[in-house]
Structures are given as C-alpha cells and as structure tokens.
C-alpha cells in the first residue's frame, strides 16, 4: 500500500503545479486582454522609453514610398534680362571596379577591365596624370566597389561627359550634380554672393549677398511623389499615387546694367593693377531714381570658384572716415539755413580748437579767401568757419540725420552698417564737417549726394527691380523710386552743384580739374582722408590716405552719380580715383545716350551714338516687314533661315532695345546656317539658343572664342553646339 500512497502524493503535487501555471497563464491573458483593450480604445502603444505611437498613423505610413522632387532655384537677371546667376548640370565621374559585376547572359564585364588603357584614354579629357588614374582604378582593398577621381573627375561639362561616353568603356558612370553658375564671373560678386548645394536637403542654398538675403524667394519649395508599395517595391493595386509638384523659386531682376557693370569691373581691375591699393570701390546710380546701375569692389572673387579673401561687402558693411567729400554736406546745411555768404572772407592756413590746430592741406594756406573759394580749394579752415560762424552743433546734427548719416540705407544687403556720426566735442564737431572723426559707408555717401543731384529729393538707393513668379510670370514684388527725405531745398541743391562745378573748372582754385570729361560738365568733390593706424593715431605719408571722388553729370541737371574710393594706393596717389571715375562716367553717359553739354568739349564719338526704341511684336510678320520695323530704330537684325515669316524673336515685345544690341529673328524655315559667333557675349549666345531652339553648352565667361561647329554649318532645332568664352 505504501507505493500507492507515494504515487497519490506525487499526483497531488502535479495538480498543484498545473493549477499554479493555469493561474499564471490566466493572469497573463488578462493582462494582454487589458493591454489590447487599452490599445483598441486609445489607438496608441507605448515603448520601453515611454514614447507613444499612434497605430493608425503607423499603419497609414507603413508601406509608403516617398520620393522628393527638388524645386528649381530661381535665376537672377540684370535689368535687361541677361542672366547673371543660373542653374546648370555638371557631372562627377566614377568607375565601377568590382570584378563580380558581369552582364547576365553575355558575361561581358560591367567594370573597368582594362585599367591602363582606360587611364590613357581618360587622361587628356580630364587633364589628369595617367599614373594617378591607374592608381585610382586599382584600389588596395579588393572589396572596393567603385572609385572616384578627385577634383579631376568633378564638375565635368556636358561636352566632357559626351567625350567620355564616346569611349564606350564599361564601368564608367556619372553622378549628375545641379550647380549654381555665374556666367558673368566676377560680376558684382559681393552683392550677388553665391549659393551651393546642401547635401542633406539636395537644395541649392544661398550663402552670401543677394543669394542669401533672398534665399526664401529663390529657393522654391520641393514637391514629392508618394506611393503605397509591397515588400517588392511595387505599387499596391487599387491605391493612388500622390503627386505634389515642386514650386520653383522666383526669378529676380536687378537694376544693374551688365554693360555699365562691365565698365566698373574693368576700371577697378586696372586701378588695382596699377596702384595696388588695399581696396577700391565704385557705385553708379541714376540721380533721379536711386537705381543702382553698377557697383563693385576689389578685392573680389569669382562666385564659380569662390576664391574669397573677405566675405564682407565693403560697399555697405565697411565704414571709414569719408574725408573732404563731406564738405558738400556741410556747405549744403549752411546754404539751406540761409546763413551762408559765399563772398564773406576767412583766413586760411589753420584753425585752432580745443587746444590743437586744424590745418589746410596746404599748411601755409592761401591767405584771405572767400567761402566760395574755400570749397573749391577743399579748405579745412573754411569748413571750420562755416561750422562756427554759420551753424550750431544741434543744427548740423539735424542736417546729418536728414542726409541719412548714422542710419542704414536699407538697400537690401545683409549686415549693413550705420556708421557713426557722434559729435561729442568741439573738435569732433569741426572735423566731422570735413569727414574726419566720423564714419560712413560708401552707400551712405552715395545716398546723401543723391539729394544734391536731384534738387533736394534724396532717393533711396536700390538694386532689386522686381521679383517674378517663374511659372506664371506674375510680378510678386516691384520696387519703385522712393524719396527718403528732402534734406535741402531745390535752390540749395543747385547752389551746391554750382560750387562743385568750380571744384572742376575754376582755373584759380580747382582741386578736381583732372575729373573733367570731354563733352560733359561735371560737378564733383574730391576726398583725401587720413586713416587711423592700429593704435588709433592717424598714419602719415601719401600711401596711407583714402582717396575718393563724388561726381555727377551733366552738372546742371545730373542723370548719373558716380562715387569712387581707393584706399592706400602705393603709387600715383592723386590719379588713382581718376582712373576709375573718368572712364566709368564717360562711357556710361555715352552708352545711355545722355546728350553732351553745349560748349563742354567735343561731341560724342559717332561710334558710341546709339538709337533706342520699343521692340515691336514681329511674330507671324513677314521678313520684309520685320526688317523695316527694326530699321526705324536703327537696328539691323540677324535673320536665321530662308523662311518668309518670323516665328521667334530674341527680345520680347515692348522691351526697350538699342541699336548696339544684337537682335535675332527666326524664320519659319526647317534649317538655318550657323552664324560666326566670334566675339558674341554670353547673353547673345543664350538668345540664339532660345530663338533657334538649339542645345548649346556654354563654357567659360566673357566673349566667344570658339564654337564646336564652324559658321555656315546647316543647323536644325535640337542640334547640339559647344561654345567657349574667354
């Protein structure tokens, strides 16, 4: 019987264990049930970190494939529609070197099999050493799948890609890279800035200047394509594809004129080469509107290369003591108050204030001189007498504020400086009248003198003409001429201009005679300001001055104001600013067909005489009619093809065109003969591509030096052409 008892006890123990496990599983089941019930009610789950996930959202998102569609960045144009910033595709070459890459069915290699031969064929196209290419194509790690070729293989053009494709070497492939390109090179570089691709977002983003300030307008908004897919990446049946189109960036049109900007860039280059200053600047503006037609500085950079020495735009961020150009403002304040007597006299040489002497640039002076003569001679003692006899400090401070000093111009560029116009002592009050002890920017100096040029109305400088929707053509923002203030009366402005003419033409006292321009009367004022050293004390020696000139023409009714600055030139100091102002002002006046003054010298060079008119709509017009219409405004068009009707024109209807521009008309002909493009500008080539519907790759900057097809080659729409500029 004992064995039976032991067996019963064992069964009883097993029953207790089973019941215990039943309770455990029942408890777990209840917990799971409660958890599922909670999930069913709340629709969320919580992970070990306490983070909650919405299951409906999770289920909705799972199995979806989303492809980002990049927006196209807006382009930037000069005021005539010539491109100064655009997007182009370049190519980065790479090579597949993994030997297991074999084409199924044929056994042909899909990798670079002939290393030496490939290197020898690539070398002349990439301008790379053969040994380097061989080294890249034979990596040490046998598991390497693909290799790149460093800078030699980056940024390849379409023609270089086509040349490599023509080699038909297996394993050579390309990454397509969208790049921001600046076809005019060093064109107002600090103003335009630059943009580069963000590798994380795929978008080209502005990093400096206009590209950064207006990045929201230019960048656009990415679109996307979304599909619900299975595990094989195939779209599920009975599901819809969601497509949201990208919104391309807006286009920006500047007030800058490519031709006048070229005058400025060329003059700055020559000045830097001849006088080797620390920096140089120039601005050209319309006197009556404030539109900036050109502005540049040196040192500068090519935004395609980004060889940047300084990221600061000196035209708006750099402050300096402007020197004697400020004397115009001091005289204007006294004249406007009615306290000025030009024939009153003063003793020149020096003026004592706060225990120290302020000297004229001719320390011995000119004896007794009139106040009118004081501006002509650029006399510091004349300014001291104007400020102590005709003005009070509060009055002068008020006029400085009216002229915009101590305040940014809000021209539309980042980090603009306001300058300092604090007159804390009697000495600073006196020296401020001739531009020492106070600071301003070049843009402030220009703006203040727009009031003198424009009969008392001080125009706001601006360089953005309009912002246009790339897709609809709708004008999103249109800038108009704006009067900032009227610091002086029209009579005062005219009086100051008369005194500024004396600076140029009075044989007895003119300090700016070298700024006279043949054919036009100029009103202007020179500036020679001392520059402080590291210890704050003013430096000595002619090579340590900032030289400047503010000029406007024609003097009696100015159309243009040109301001030039050259800091610390190393030679021929007195002519450093002349070398910039004179060619820029003269060429700009003639280019804009501003009539020369009677008796101011010889007439305009006949070769510079141009007519202008409004471009007519010539689409569907006969060739004869189109020629006749354009001949009325002095334009001889380039007509492509032997057709009888015009189907495309290079300039839109109602656009202002000049007789020195290249106007291209396309006829209803299936083909045309390619013209000789030698000397054509970038914009001319672009116009040809648009009118003739050619696939033209433009390489370089400047003027055309070569073309891949000779002139008189029969061409048709879609034909490829490579044009190189220098």
CATH at 671: 3.30.10.20
| pLDDT band at 158; cut points 50, 70, 90 | confident
Q: In which band, very low, low, confident or very high, does the pLDDT at 172 lie, cut at 50, 70 and 90?
A: very high
Give residue 603's pLDDT: 42
Query: CB count, 10 Å around CB of 615?
Result: 20
Pair 132, 249 in one domain: yes
Q: Which residues contact 407 (CB under 8 A, 6 or more apart)?
A: 401, 418
Same domain, 110 and 154: yes
61: CB partners within 8 A, 6+ apart: none
pLDDT at 52: 66
Q: What is the CATH number of the domain that holds 147?
A: 3.90.1310.10
* pLDDT band per the 50, 70, 90 thresholds, residue 88: confident
- With bands split at pLDDT 50, 70 and 90, how would you rate the model's confidence at 601? very low
Least confident of 67-71, 172-176, 700-704: 700-704
Please check whether residues 223 and 112 belong to one and the same domain: yes
The two three-digit tokens of residue 267, written as one number: 């003059």
Most confident of 91-100, 278-287, 471-480, 621-630: 278-287
Maximum average pLDDT range among 200-214, 239-253, 555-569, 678-692 = 555-569
Question: CB within 8 A of 679, min separation 6: which ones?
Answer: 703, 704
Write the CA distances from 671 to 431, 623, 677, 712, integer angstroms.
Answer: 71, 16, 17, 11
| Cα–Cα distance, 674 to 706 (Å, whole number) | 13
Asked whether 94 and 118 are in contact (CB, 8 A), the reply is no
Residue with tokens 């007439």: 603
Residues 285, 160 share a domain: no
What HEC string does 195-223 produce? EEECCCCCCEEEEEHHHHHCHHHHHCECE
pLDDT-above-90 percentage for the chain: 55
pLDDT level of residue 393 (50, 70, 90 thresholds): very high
Give me the number of domains the chain comprises.
4
For residue 351, give the 3-state DSSP assignment: strand
Structural domain harbouring 635 = 612-725
How confident is the model at residue 67, as a pLDDT? 72
pTM of the model: 0.75
* Segment 294-334, tens digit of pLDDT: 999 999 999 988 889 899 999 999 999 999 999 999 999 99
Lowest-confidence pick of 81-85, 203-207, 487-491, 541-545:
541-545
Tell me the pLDDT band of 595, cut-offs 50, 70 and 90: confident
pLDDT-wise least confident of 102-106, 312-316, 560-564:
102-106
**Tell me, what's the pLDDT at 202?**
73
How far is CA 590 from each of CA 283, 501, 637, 646, rounded to the nearest angstrom? 17, 20, 22, 32
Looking at 29, 62, 95, the residue that finishes a domain is: 62
What local confidence, expressed as pLDDT, does residue 608 receive? 41
**Domain boundary at 575, 606, 637, which?**
606
**pLDDT at residue 63, as a whole number:** 63
Q: Are 455 and 490 in contact (CB under 8 A)?
A: yes
Of 528, 523, 532, nearest to 505 (Cα)? Answer: 523
Residue that is last in its domain, among 253, 276, 291? 253
Closest CA to 333 of 453, 489, 483, 457: 489
Tokens read off for 121: 């064929």
Report the distance separating Cα 383 and Cα 389, nearest Å: 10
Centre a 10 Å sphere on the Cβ of residue 141 and count the other Cβ atoms it contains.
7
Which helix (H) or strand (E) element contains residue 649? strand 646-649
Interval 464-490 mean pLDDT: 94
Q: Which residues are CB-neighbours of 396 under 8 A, at least 6 positions away? A: 330, 333, 387, 423, 429, 432, 433
717 pLDDT more than 60: yes
Q: What is the pLDDT of residues 215-230, one digit of tens each?
A: 999 998 888 887 776 6
Distances (CA, A) of 172 to 97, 130, 374, 697: 9, 16, 75, 22
Mean per-residue pLDDT over the chain, rounded:
87
Q: Is the peptide bond before 371 cis (omega within 30 degrees of 0)?
A: no
Mean per-residue pLDDT, 164-193 = 90
Query: Does 568 share its domain with 619?
Result: no
DSSP string, 111-150: S---HHHHHHHHHHHHT--HHHHHHHHS-SSTT--EEE-G
Q: Of all residues in the chain, what percent carry a pLDDT higher than 70?
A: 90
- Same domain, yes or no: 377 and 266: yes
CATH code for the domain in which residue 363 is found: 3.40.710.10
Q: In this predicted structure, what is the pLDDT of residue 389?
A: 96
- 3-state SS record for 277-327: CCEEEEEEEECCCCEEEEEEEECCCCCCCCCCCCCCCCCCCCCECCHHHHH
Shared-domain flag, residues 422 and 534: yes
How much is the pLDDT for 175? 87
Indicate if 39 and 137 belong to the same structural domain. Answer: no
* 355 and 323 within one domain: yes
Average pLDDT over residues 570-583: 91
Residue 664: CB atoms within 10 Å: 19
- Assess whether 640 and 708 both reside in one domain: yes
Question: In whole angstroms, what is the distance from residue 419 CA to residue 442 CA?
Answer: 10
What is the length of the chain?
726
Cis peptide before 696 (omega within 30 of 0): no
Report CA-CA distances (Å) from 637 to 183, 576, 625, 645, 666. 25, 41, 12, 14, 10
Catalytic residues: 324
What torsion, rounded to 10 degrees, do the Cα atoms 571, 575, 579, 582 define? 180
pLDDT at residue 341, as a whole number: 97
Average pLDDT over residues 569-597: 91
**592, 625: one domain:** no
Tokens describing residue 136: 């890249």
Tell me the per-residue pLDDT of 27-85, one tens digit each, with 9 for 90 and over: 777 777 776 666 666 656 666 666 665 655 545 545 666 777 788 899 999 988 888 99
- Residue of 380, 417, 423, 419 whose CA lies nearest to 398: 423
What b/e string do you get for 157-168 counting C-beta neighbours within 10 Å, with b at 16 or more?
Answer: bbbbbebbeeee
Q: Are residues 393 and 314 in the same domain?
A: yes
Structure tokens that stand for 287 in this block: 């006197």
Q: Which helix (H) or strand (E) holds 434?
A: none
Q: What is the pLDDT of residue 170?
A: 92
pLDDT of 434 > 60? The answer is: yes
């Amino acid at each position: 019987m004992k064995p039976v008892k032991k067996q019963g006890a064992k069964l009883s123990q097993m029953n207790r264990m089973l019941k215990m496990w039943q309770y455990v599983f029942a408890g777990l089941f209840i917990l799971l049930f409660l958890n599922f019930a909670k999930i069913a009610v709340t629709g969320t789950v919580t992970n070990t970190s306490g983070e909650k996930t919405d299951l409906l959202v999770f289920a909705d998102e799972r199995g979806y494939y989303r492809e980002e569609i990049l927006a196209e960045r807006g382009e930037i144009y000069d005021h005539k529609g010539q491109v100064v910033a655009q997007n182009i595709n370049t190519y980065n070459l790479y090579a597949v070197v993994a030997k297991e890459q074999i084409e199924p069915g044929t056994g042909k290699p899909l990798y670079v099999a002939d290393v030496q031969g490939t290197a020898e064929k690539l070398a002349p196209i990439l301008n790379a050493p053969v040994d380097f290419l061989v080294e890249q194509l034979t990596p040490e790690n046998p598991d390497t799948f693909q290799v790149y070729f460093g800078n030699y293989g980056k940024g390849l053009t379409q023609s270089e890609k086509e040349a490599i494709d023509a080699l038909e070497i297996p394993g050579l492939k390309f990454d397509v890279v969208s790049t921001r390109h600046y076809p005019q090179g060093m064109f107002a570089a600090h103003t335009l800035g630059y943009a580069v691709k963000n590798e994380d977002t795929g978008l080209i983003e502005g990093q400096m200047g206009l590209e950064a300030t207006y990045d929201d307008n230019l960048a656009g908004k990415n679109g996307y394509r979304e599909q619900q897919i299975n595990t094989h990446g195939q779209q599920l049946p009975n599901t819809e594809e969601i497509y949201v189109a990208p919104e391309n960036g807006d286009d920006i049109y500047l007030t800058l004129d490519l031709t006048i900007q070229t005058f400025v860039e060329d003059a700055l280059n020559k000045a830097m080469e001849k006088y080797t200053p620390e920096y140089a600047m120039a601005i050209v503006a319309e006197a009556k509107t404030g539109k900036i037609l050109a502005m540049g500085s040196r040192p500068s950079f090519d935004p395609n290369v980004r060889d940047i020495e300084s990221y600061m735009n000196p035209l708006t961020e750099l402050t300096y003591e402007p020197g004697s150009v400020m004397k115009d403002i001091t005289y204007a304040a006294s004249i406007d108050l009615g306290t000025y007597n030009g024939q009153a006299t003063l003793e020149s040489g020096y003026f004592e204030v706060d225990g120290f002497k302020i000297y004229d640039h001719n320390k011995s002076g000119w004896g007794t001189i009139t106040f009118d003569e004081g501006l002509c001679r650029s006399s510091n003692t004349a300014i001291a007498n104007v400020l102590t006899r005709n003005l009070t400090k509060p009055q002068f401070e008020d006029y400085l504020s009216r002229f915009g000093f101590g305040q940014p111009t809000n021209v539309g560029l980042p980090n603009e400086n306001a300058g300092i116009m604090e007159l804390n002592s009697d000495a600073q009050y006196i020296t401020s009248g001739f531009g020492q002890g106070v600071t301003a920017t070049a843009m402030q100096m220009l703006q203040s003198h727009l009031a003198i040029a424009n009969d008392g109305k001080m125009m706001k400088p601006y360089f953005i003409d309009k912002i246009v929707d790339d897709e609809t053509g709708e004008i999103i923002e249109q800038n108009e001429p704006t009067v900032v203030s009227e610091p002086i009366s029209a009579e005062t402005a005219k009086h100051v201009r008369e005194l500024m003419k004396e600076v140029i033409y009075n044989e007895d006292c003119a300090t700016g005679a070298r700024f006279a321009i043949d054919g036009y009367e100029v009103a202007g004022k020179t500036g020679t300001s001392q520059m402080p050293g590291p210890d704050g004390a003013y430096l000595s020696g002619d090579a340590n001055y900032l030289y400047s000139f503010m000029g406007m023409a024609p003097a009696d009714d100015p159309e243009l104001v040109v301001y030039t600055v050259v800091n610390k030139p190393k030679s021929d100091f007195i002519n450093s600013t002349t070398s910039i102002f004179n060619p820029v002002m003269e060429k700009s006046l003639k280019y804009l067909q501003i009539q020369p003054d009677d008796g101011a010298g010889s007439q305009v060079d006949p070769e510079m005489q141009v007519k202008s008119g409004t471009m007519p709509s010539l689409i569907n017009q006969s060739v004869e009619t189109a020629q006749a219409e354009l001949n009325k405004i002095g334009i001889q068009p380039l007509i492509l093809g032997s057709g009888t009707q015009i189907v495309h024109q290079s300039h839109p209807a109602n656009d202002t065109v000049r007789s020195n521009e290249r106007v291209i008309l396309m006829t209803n002909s299936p083909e045309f003969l390619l013209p000789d493009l030698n000397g054509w500008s970038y914009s001319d080539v672009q116009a040809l591509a648009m009118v003739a519907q050619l696939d033209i790759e433009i390489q370089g900057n400047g003027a055309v030096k070569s073309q891949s097809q000779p002139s008189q080659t029969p061409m048709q729409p879609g034909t490829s052409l490579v044009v190189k500029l220098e």
